[in-house]
Amino acid sequence: MATFYAIYPPSLGGASSPTVVTGSGTAGSPAPGVVTVQGITGGTPLPVAATLVGQSASWLESLDYGVTPITTLAYVQLNPSTATNINYLSIFDSSGNPMILAVGAPGSEVDHLYVPPGGSVGGYNLYIPAGSRISYKALLVDSTSGNLIITGLN
């Protein structure tokens, strides 16, 4: 049985928390654990099949820059202590600005990743050990609008 997370930020018309789908089933059939995508209103549903091999979501974070601005002056804590090891990150960032992802205690953050505007296209293979504090900071200019969504896989 697999668990899938579908995330749509509130600014894009989605819920404030992710939709979680678990279970198994046949694509195209109305059953728990089956995700169907419909391209246009009144159109034919398009079944989507996916297999997760060897990795599961261990950390999920979303941030609205209108509520929590990201500045060039200080790191903003995203997670005080990761519950498990993280081996891979997928990042969506709609601020339009480059960012810095750092790991470490307050005042001792180490920059691990420069995130381009928009986030990651293919994701990042980055090992972050369990118990690590993860922070985010603007690289060039402050960001006061947009959304950040990060998924960490172990």
Query: Tell me, what's the pLDDT at 18?
Result: 44
| Cα 99 to Cα 107: distance, rounded to the nearest angstrom | 18
Domains with residue ranges and CATH for the chain = 2-47 (no CATH), 57-153 (2.60.120)
Query: Tell me, what's the pLDDT at 154?
Result: 83
Write out the DSSP string of 52-99: --S--EEEEEEEETTTS-B-SSS-EEEESS-SS-EEEEEEEE-SSS-E
Q: Residue 52 above 60 pLDDT?
A: no
Query: Tell me, what's the pLDDT at 41?
Result: 55
Please give the average per-residue pLDDT across 12-41, as a whole number: 50
Sheet holding 110-115, edge to edge: 76-79, 134-138, 99-103, 110-115
**Pair 87, 54: CB distance under 8 Å:** no
Quick one: pLDDT band at residue 57, thresholds 50, 70, 90? low
